[in-house]
């Protein structure tokens, strides 16, 4: 079959690879109809991880079940399904507790597995014609038959739940004000989720006009951090108090201004200033324990200078870590079906699989309006 294969930094190719097959009685093979490129794929693409040539990318996958192992009971060939990006067993103590992003079974020696991602286990990605899905009863979320909401549904694999997770970690509650740093796809999903949870006002901080416009379109208040200190702007809009809650949808590759060197803790520290005493921060934005491209020696080991004194003085709570998609996927799906959520407004391009190399390049450069790309390996 055809698949998007990582070749070298800034280089992917669509190549022939062996077809996946049932390897365990609990597996299914899914014919992929939609698969999205994620901002986190770019970390590998840019050579800023330990990813080696040969990896098939793709952890945001949706398709039709092609074949099912003998132990699979709830999923049948022909079912339309979307897969959480986390591969999880469903029965280890972390899965049982709802922490499916930290499964202890699927990726021995580590807590958590994923499709097509460096260090996340032996699972090929879904930017391909077909995908093997282990523990299929647990890892497939069944969708209504047909093709309706295809582009909304594929976002259930990662970014819609991940944005929601930011709000959950920040414990966003009705009537609250929320500051979201970053208006990329995850930041927009966080703002959108804050609205679904009943936030009163949502501030979205970025510097790119297009992104801020999208934020405004979904009812958020855009804050351009290049205009003026975003902390000051948000305090002014909240009678000097700051926001009740905050979400970091940027992560470690942050910088104060375009073209300047990275300051990996700048968003975290801005949030500590932005959020009022007694508040909470949700951090779905990625931080890593080893970053060869970091601006200083401490940061290379993932150690960042954090305003702990102020954090403590304000009594803030902080939630971190990748999303446990399984925890949110079912009810977010229900909101899409009921017409109450339509996250596909963030998708800028829908393309055939063969367009992947070009799409990666443009998305990485943030040119030609590439903000979120969905690939359709079988057309459509």
214 scored as a contact of a second copy (CB under 8 A):
no
237 scored as a contact of a second copy (CB under 8 A):
no
311 scored as a contact of a second copy (CB under 8 A):
yes
User: How far does the chain reach from its first CA to its final CA, in angstroms?
Assistant: 18
Stretch that binds a second copy, among 11-19, 48-56, 154-162, 171-179 (CB under 8 A): 171-179
- Number of chain residues interacting with a second copy (CB under 8 A): 83
Angle at 169 between CA 126 and CA 288, to 5 degrees: 55
Question: What minimum distance in Å lies between the beta carbon of 250 and a second copy?
Answer: 12
80 scored as a contact of a second copy (CB under 8 A):
no
304 scored as a contact of a second copy (CB under 8 A):
yes
Please identify, using beta-carbon distances, which residue of 130 and 287 lies nearer to a second copy. Answer: 287
Q: Can you tell me which of 208, 320, 349, 358 binds a second copy, judged by CB under 8 A?
A: 320
Q: Can you tell me which of 47, 90, 293, 352 binds a second copy, judged by CB under 8 A?
A: 90
Query: Phi/psi of residue 303, each to 5°?
Result: -100, 120
Binding to a second copy (CB under 8 A) within 327-366 occurs at 330-335, 337-338, 340
Query: Phi/psi of residue 199, each to 5°?
Result: -60, 150
Stretch that binds a second copy, among 151-159, 320-328, 342-350, 368-376 (CB under 8 A): 320-328
Question: What minimum distance in Å lies between the beta carbon of 319 and a second copy?
Answer: 5
Site string for a second copy, 176-195 (x = CB under 8 A): xx------------------
208 scored as a contact of a second copy (CB under 8 A):
no
Q: Can you tell me which of 7, 8, 10, 24 binds a second copy, judged by CB under 8 A?
A: 24
The first and second tokens of residue 104, run together, are 């202890």
21 scored as a contact of a second copy (CB under 8 A):
no
The first and second tokens of residue 110, run together, are 């580590």
Stretch that binds a second copy, among 28-36, 69-77, 254-262, 365-373 (CB under 8 A): 69-77
CA 7 to CA 12: how far, in whole Å? 5
- State the CB neighbour count (10 A cutoff) for residue 309: 9
3-state class of 236 per DSSP? helix
The first and second tokens of residue 255, run together, are 């910088």
DSSP 103-130: -SSSSTTSS-EETT-TTS-S---SSBSE
113 scored as a contact of a second copy (CB under 8 A):
no
3-state class of 374 per DSSP? strand
CA 371 to CA 287: how far, in whole Å? 21
Query: Under a CB-based contact definition with an 8 Å cutoff, are residues 158 and 325 in contact?
Result: yes
36 scored as a contact of a second copy (CB under 8 A):
no
Please identify, using beta-carbon distances, which residue of 235 and 349 lies nearer to a second copy. Answer: 235
Binding to a second copy (CB under 8 A) within 114-153 occurs at 137-138
CA 377 to CA 193: how far, in whole Å? 29
CA 49 to CA 142: how far, in whole Å? 33
Question: What minimum distance in Å lies between the beta carbon of 3 and a second copy?
Answer: 27
3-state class of 64 per DSSP? strand
308 scored as a contact of a second copy (CB under 8 A):
yes
Binding to a second copy (CB under 8 A) within 254-283 occurs at 264-265, 268-269, 276-278, 283
Question: What minimum distance in Å lies between the beta carbon of 149 and a second copy?
Answer: 13
Region at 159 (left for phi over 0; alpha for psi -120 to 50; beta for the rest)? alpha
Please identify, using beta-carbon distances, which residue of 75 and 375 lies nearer to a second copy. Answer: 75
105 scored as a contact of a second copy (CB under 8 A):
yes
CA 186 to CA 194: how far, in whole Å? 12
């Amino acid at each position: 079959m055809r698949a998007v294969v990582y070749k070298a930094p800034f280089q992917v190719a669509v190549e022939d690879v062996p077809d996946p097959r049932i390897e365990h009685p609990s597996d299914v093979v899914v014919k992929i109809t939609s698969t999205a490129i994620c901002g986190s794929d770019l970390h590998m693409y840019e050579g800023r991880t330990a990813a080696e040539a040969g990896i098939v990318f793709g952890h945001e996958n949706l398709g039709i079940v092609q074949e099912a192992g003998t132990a699979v009971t709830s999923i049948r060939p022909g079912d339309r399904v979307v897969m959480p990006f986390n591969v999880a067993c469903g029965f280890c103590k972390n899965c049982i507790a709802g922490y499916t992003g930290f499964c202890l079974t699927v990726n021995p020696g580590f807590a958590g597995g994923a499709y097509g991602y460096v260090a996340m286990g032996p699972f090929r990605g879904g930017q391909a014609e077909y995908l093997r899905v282990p523990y299929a009863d647990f890892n497939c979320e069944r969708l209504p038959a047909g093709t309706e909401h295809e582009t909304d549904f594929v976002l259930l694999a990662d970014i819609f739940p991940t944005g929601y997770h930011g709000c959950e970690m920040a414990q966003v509650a009705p009537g609250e004000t929320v500051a979201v740093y970053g208006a990329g796809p995850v930041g927009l999903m966080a703002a959108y989720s804050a609205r679904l949870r009943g936030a009163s006002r949502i501030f979205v901080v970025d510097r790119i006009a297009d992104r801020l416009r999208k934020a405004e379109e979904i009812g958020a208040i855009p804050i351009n951090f290049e205009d003026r200190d975003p902390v000051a702007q948000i305090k002014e809009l909240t009678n000097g108090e700051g926001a009740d809650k905050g979400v970091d949808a940027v992560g470690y590759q942050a910088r104060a201004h375009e073209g300047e060197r990275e300051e990996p803790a700048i968003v975290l520290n801005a949030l500590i200033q932005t959020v009022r005493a007694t508040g909470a921060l949700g951090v779905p934005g990625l931080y890593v324990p080893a970053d060869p491209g970091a601006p200083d020696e401490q940061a290379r080991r993932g150690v960042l200078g954090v305003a702990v004194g102020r954090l403590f003085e304000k009594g803030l709570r902080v939630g971190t870590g990748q999303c446990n998609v399984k925890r949110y996927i079912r009810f977010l799906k229900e909101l899409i079906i009921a017409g109450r959520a339509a996250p596909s407004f963030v998708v800028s391009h829908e393309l055939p699989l063969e367009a992947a190399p070009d799409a990666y390049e443009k998305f990485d450069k943030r040119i030609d309006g590439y903000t979120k790309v969905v690939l359709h390996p079988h057309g459509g």
